[in-house]
Amino acid sequence: MNDLFLRACRRQPVERTPIWLMRQAGRYLPEYRAVRGRTDFVTLCKTPELAAEVTIQPIDRLGVDAAILFSDILVPAEPMGVSITFNPGPVLDPPVRSAADVDRIRVPDPEETVPFVFETIRILRRELAGRVPLIGFGAAPFTLAAYLVEGRGSKNFEHLKRMIYGDPASAHRLLEKCAATLESYLAAQVRAGAQAIQIFDTWAGLLGPADYREFALRHARRVLDSLKDSGVPRIYFALDAGHLLDEIRECGADVLGLDWRTPLAEGARRLGPAFALQGNLDPCVLLASPAVIAERARRIVAEGAHAPGHVFNLGHGILPETPVEHAQALVEAVRGARAPERKP
């Protein structure tokens, strides 16, 4: 079994830097577009055989060192009491705007309400048969709450901000419900066979440090802590959070994802020896030439030596317009790079 990814997460020695790519099962792959041509996104998430099929596509095509469950961070939101459509961004209805709205939000039983997720994981573990480890994932409570309140992606998240600034008690009640939902949802993923868990805090970077600490960090920490005894590596990835590194140090994860705005060496220096790091090539680099991609990739592999463990990844999801040969060139460059001598 290729366990490079798990060893790097655990800060154990590796022969070379492992790599996987956020959204590696996605629209840049012709074989993914072929499946989507006959299946809408929601059906794909809810049909275990198909979700497993697209999860494996990038393992075959790119040779990455980990698979990540094909799903969406909003899957557990639906049984909380909202409808979700994709248009193409998510639209949640009705949005959660008031104390009464928060009252109506449920903490669902995941095995009862989204069994297809765990069935997908079981199929994947059989089909992967140890080729590479399987990563499960979910949103962080703040990011899940952000979608519930706003009802969709947003530039400023005005409704969410209005709630946290104007009615923090309701915000915390909602965040507690999100945290409870995510705890049981992610625990069930581990029981089904997920070998690592990544928590996406996509919107945490919208907050300053004090608000991040109050509304995002402590709820994320609760979820991460709940997974500690499971023994699987826990990855926390907050996007655009270079201003929050001092706070993120306290999240309790095993691995911290960094986007391309924070160099790995700087991240390692500020985050300390307790964390492996994951990242952090700007996904837009994959739009340049293979030579540029290889050069920038090698630089990041070398910089990763400053961390006590390094999993190569993009700094955000791969862009749909990425030429598939460019993604292949990236994986080749990282797999071909010499393992750097660790100097954390």
- Residues marked active site are found at 23, 27, 36, 72, 147
Nearest to its own copies of 123, 207 (CB atom): 207
Nearest to its own copies of 49, 158 (CB atom): 158
Cβ 139 to its own copies, closest distance in Å? 19
Q: Are 121 and 136 in contact (CB under 8 A)?
A: yes
Tell me: does residue 205 bind its own copies (CB under 8 A).
Answer: yes
How many residues bind to its own copies according to rule CB under 8 A? 32
Among 30, 208, 272, 336, binds its own copies (CB under 8 A): 208
Nearest to its own copies of 161, 234 (CB atom): 161
Site for its own copies in 211-240 (CB under 8 A): 240
Question: Residue 79: is it exposed, middle or buried by C-beta count within 10 angstroms (0-12/13-18/19+)?
Answer: middle
- Alpha-carbon distances of 128 from 51, 120, 161, rounded to whole Å: 13, 12, 42
Pairing of strands 83-86, 90-93: antiparallel
Tell me: does residue 63 bind its own copies (CB under 8 A).
Answer: no
Strands (DSSP E) along the chain, which ranges? 67-68, 83-86, 90-93, 134-139, 196-201, 234-238, 255-257, 276-281, 310-314
DSSP string, 43-107: HHHH-HHHHHHHHHHHHHHH--S-EE----TTGGGGGGT-EEEESSSEEEES---SHHHHHH---
Nearest to its own copies of 106, 269 (CB atom): 269
The contact pattern for its own copies, residues 251-290, with x = CB under 8 A and - = no contact, is ---------xxxx--x---------------xxxx-xxx-
DSSP string, 175-195: HHHHHHHHHHHHHHHHHHT-S
Site for its own copies in 123-162 (CB under 8 A): 156-158, 161-162
Cβ 276 to its own copies, closest distance in Å? 20
Cβ 151 to its own copies, closest distance in Å? 15
- Say how far residue 236 (Cα) sits from the centre of its chain: 7
Tell me: does residue 200 bind its own copies (CB under 8 A).
Answer: no
Nearest to its own copies of 118, 215 (CB atom): 215
Among 122, 296, 298, 342, binds its own copies (CB under 8 A): 296
β-bridge partners, 197: 136, 234
Question: Residue 8: is it exposed, middle or buried by C-beta count within 10 angstroms (0-12/13-18/19+)?
Answer: buried
Cβ 239 to its own copies, closest distance in Å? 11
> Which parts of this chain interact with its own copies (CB under 8 A)?
156-158, 161-162, 165-166, 205-210, 240, 242-243, 260-263, 266, 282-285, 287-289, 292, 296, 319, 321
